[in-house]
Amino acid sequence: MNSFHWLRAFLILLGTCAVVVFLSSPAATEGHGKHHTHECPTYADIDANADNAVTSEEFYQFRSERMAKRADEGGKMKNAQKAPAFEDLDLDGDGNLSADEFAEHHSQCPMMKKKEATATG
């Protein structure tokens, strides 16, 4: 083999390695596996009857449907047991989750903090 063939083979190998490194990087795998981003629900998503008061029934029905959908998609639910109870979010204890109470929880949500840190960093 002359030097041109060696150079060509080396460049092909180098290019292949670069593609493999790129495809295995977090930027290329965003949205897959552990880098998968989950859309956080909005208050309107949970307020099934749009009366601006989420009851425990609406809350748990939404959660149940969301978890079933994730399970059908093959999503892992390793932190499901850490999800807050309705009673933890109903700060004033009136039996309804207001938009303000939801916003307070949403601002404290570790997933949201992680998303914000990624967006600014």
d(CA 121, CA 115): 10
Do 54 and 103 form a contact (C-beta atoms < 8 A)?
Answer: no
Domain ranges of the chain: 1-35, 37-120
Q: Model confidence over 1-54: pLDDT tens digits?
A: 566 667 777 777 766 766 666 666 554 444 444 445 567 889 999 999 999 999
DSSP assignment of the chain: --HHHHHHHHHHHHHHHHHHHHHTSHHHHTTSGGG---PPPPHHHH-TT-SS-EEHHHHHHHHHHHHHHHHHTT---TTGGGSPPHHHH-TT-SSEE-HHHHHHHHHH-HHHHHHHHHHH-
* CATH, domain 37-120, list 3.60.20, 1.10.238, 1.10.3470, 3.40.50: 1.10.238
Do 16 and 22 form a contact (C-beta atoms < 8 A)?
Answer: no
- Give the per-residue pLDDT at 74: 87
Q: Model confidence over 65-102: pLDDT tens digits?
A: 998 988 898 888 777 888 889 999 999 999 999 999 99
Amino acid at 10: F
